[in-house]
Structure 1
Amino acid sequence: MTATSRAPRRPRIRPRGPPPAPTPIRTARGARSAAADERVLAEFLEASLRVPDLALPPRTKRFSFPPAPPPPPPHEVSSQALASGDADAAAESGAFTVAGAVDAREVREAVEASRAVFAATDEVKREPLARWFRKRDDPVSGGEEFCWFRPVSHDDDRALDAALPGSTYRVFREKMDTVASKMENVAKNAIRVLSDNVKNPKDSALCREAPSILRLTLYNSNKSKTCWDESGSTDPPPNSHALSIHLSGDDRKICLRNQGGSTIFSLPAGSMLVTIGKKIQEWSNGQFKAAVGEALFEMTDEPGPFISLQLVYSPDNLRLTEVGRQARSIDRPKFVSFRDQILVALILLLLFYLFWC
């Protein structure tokens, strides 16, 4: 038995480099590559196919709503009209201005007297007068506030006079009390006018939940910002006040914000901006809208740091004012319409002809 021998297999060596050209395709005209066929096919398709020219439709102008106009500036009334109750204080903007309410010189003197109060040492502001002073945590405008609670008690007078040096508080009290009293008179007249015009007030009385505060704010920056979102023991809650009154001894730009947006207007020196608080809005069932006012200023406007003056007013009780409104409506004379007068005249004429003719 003979053994068969097989030749050893040779290992396949893979060539390095690009792959070989495609195998020629046999046709009736001979052999040619697939690349040549693809080129011929592309030329045939390009010559035979008619692709229409396509174009996008012209862009139509999109309809866009025009930007909402800013709300109008608040209505201006005089002090006499407000005191007589003839002014329409129930403005839709939630605010109105009182022209010539205070002599501008008196306001400037009171503000100047308050600079000596702010000049007290930090130790005094932290320990004996911590109830009246507080730092503003706002990184934009910085500064601090002095809150003068109204009416001022005898104990508060004595504590402030003893803590502040010399006659600082006595001078401040003399100058600022005149201005604050006039602001409170405007607030009381405004509350009376609002109660006279309210249509469907809540049954609950609008009683005092927080004291009225004369807020003096010292700004160290050229940007102002409202402080209702700040925390502090002397800050009343946003819905705890009825009215807010801004006053300045110089012509000042005011930013007024309400539900309709914001607007900037000029407040003349000695005039007051009265804004309605959320407490009035809730008490009137939304008839009177709340608004927030804020003084705008630049560092070039003042030789020193700017001081704003604001009265946050809370009445003792609005139920008494409502009773007075109802009593005045009862005593108001009743007028007979022209149609009723003609009807009565015709009835009298008919009776005359029936009984006398």
Structure 2
Amino acid sequence: MPIARCNSQIPVPLPSPVPTGRGSRSAANEIFSEFLEKTLQLPELTLPGPQLPPAPAEVDLWSLPRASANLLLRSAKEFGAFRIRCHGISGNELGTVADEAERVFRDSEHDVVERDGVGAEMISCVRSNKGALEFTAHKNLGDETHRNFWVHMGNVASRMDSIVEQVTLALQKDSKSEEFKERIQETESMICLCRYPHDNAPKQNEGVSDKKNDSLKDHALRFYLPLEHCIFYIQTERGPLSFDAGPENIVVTVGKQLEEWSRGVFKCVPGEMIFMPSIQGSDASFSIELTCSTSLNLNQSLKVSEKIISLTDQILIVFSLAFLCKFLYFIFS
């Protein structure tokens, strides 16, 4: 019987081709292409933006004391300061005050008081007590030369007094202390015209001395309205901090009294404006500053002891004198 032999020459079918990823019919085409797209595509890189130093918050006046109260409170607690924009004091008012300021200082030598440690001079202009405004430097009210100045200064003072009221309401928002609310409501305000001679600029850059700290912190709040752009400097617990300031913003700093009334919730900081000499070659820069303090401290610090006449009465006196002068001129001409 024949033995069956195994023929090694019998052809064996070849394996199916391995997909190479070439061609649109390849099984690996879609998967491999997706893999390549993911691995070869560089991730999108963005450069970090400039890291701006922290600064006190800017609060819109129209949103006080409700919408922006929390922002104001956080800034007062963290920095001891905040800024108010859209304050509603027109550029024309401030421009008139700035144009007349040098002459007012020159003609009011007896009303000028030097501020210790700041290198500035000031004239106490308007005092506010529970909404009643009174001029305190009325020597030149009847002078036709400065009539414009005092009229515009009265308008600015009235507006700033309204701002103080809104700020104090915002500061009371999260306070449960009746003593704190009572004390802050009993404060009075003094609005001053301040002159900063440019020859004192190098001294200002040296920083805030201990003597200056004491003189600047003897109040509850201080409102700064520079009549030109400057660098505002404050000394916080974390170190010195500076930022731009100008007529478009009112800078408010917390004083020692407010820190004590709030038991350290609001931080007291000294503030300072650093003006640079302008290209016009003026000898000094000017600002309007409001000090909010208790009645006793306000009288002692600003040395106001003379009898004062209400703001409304004094404005009427100005216009009456002007009318009288014109009437007499008409009669005798």
With normalisation by structure 2, the TM-score equals: 0.59
**Alignment partners' CA distance in 2, 1:118 and 1:249:** 15
Equivalent position of 1:125 in the other structure = 109
Q: Deviations for 1:94-138, whole angstroms, at most 9, x for unmatched residues?
A: 111111213334222212222221111xxx624xxxxx3124566
Equivalent position of 1:79 in the other structure = 61
Change (3 A) 1:76 1:302: farther
Superposed displacement of residue 89, structure 1: 1.5
Change (3 A) 1:181 1:260: farther
Equivalent position of 1:97 in the other structure = 83
Larger of the two Rg values belongs to structure: 1
Equivalent position of 2:315 in the other structure = none
Matching residue within 114, 133, 140 for 2:101: 114
Equivalent position of 1:153 in the other structure = 134
One-letter amino acid matched to 2:141:
D
**Alignment partners' CA distance in 2, 1:268 and 1:111:** 13
Q: Within 5 A, what are the aligned runs for 1:337-356?
A: none
Aligned: 1:134 with 2:117: no
**Alignment partners' CA distance in 1, 2:151 and 2:193:** 16
Equivalent position of 1:198 in the other structure = 175
Aligned: 1:306 with 2:288: no
Change (3 A) 1:211 1:190: closer
Alignment: residue pair count: 230
**Alignment partners' CA distance in 2, 1:190 and 1:143:** 26
**Alignment partners' CA distance in 2, 1:227 and 1:312:** 20
Superposed displacement of residue 258, structure 1: 2.1
RMSD of aligned residue pairs (Cα, Å): 3.4
Q: Within 5 A, what are the aligned runs for 1:54-69?
A: none
Q: Deviations for 1:301-341, whole angstroms, at most 9, x for unmatched residues?
A: 5541211221112378xxxxxxxxxxxxxxxxxxxxxxxxx
Change (3 A) 1:315 1:116: same
SS at match of 1:174: helix
Change (3 A) 1:70 1:202: farther
**Alignment partners' CA distance in 1, 2:67 and 2:172:** 10
Change (3 A) 1:207 1:251: closer
Superposed displacement of residue 211, structure 1: 4.6
Change (3 A) 1:105 1:142: same
Q: Which has the higher helix share?
A: 2
**Alignment partners' CA distance in 1, 2:190 and 2:210:** 14
One-letter amino acid matched to 2:156:
V
Q: Identity over the aligned pairs, expressed in percent?
A: 24
Matching residue within 207, 211, 219 for 1:229: 211
One-letter amino acid matched to 1:229:
K
Equivalent position of 2:269 in the other structure = 291
Unmatched 5+ stretches in structure 2 = 1-50, 296-333
Superposed displacement of residue 268, structure 1: 4.3
**Alignment partners' CA distance in 2, 1:250 and 1:297:** 8
Q: Deviations for 1:1-32, whole angstroms, at most 9, x for unmatched residues?
A: xxxxxxxxxxxxxxxxxxxxxxxxxxxxxxxx
Equivalent position of 2:190 in the other structure = 213
Matching residue within 259, 275, 284 for 1:281: 259
Contact 2:114 2:120 (C-alpha < 8 Å) held by counterparts: yes
With normalisation by structure 1, the TM-score equals: 0.55
Superposed displacement of residue 260, structure 1: 2.1
Q: Deviations for 1:168-225, whole angstroms, at most 9, x for unmatched residues?
A: 4422211112222222222211110111122456468316887522222222225164
Equivalent position of 1:170 in the other structure = 147
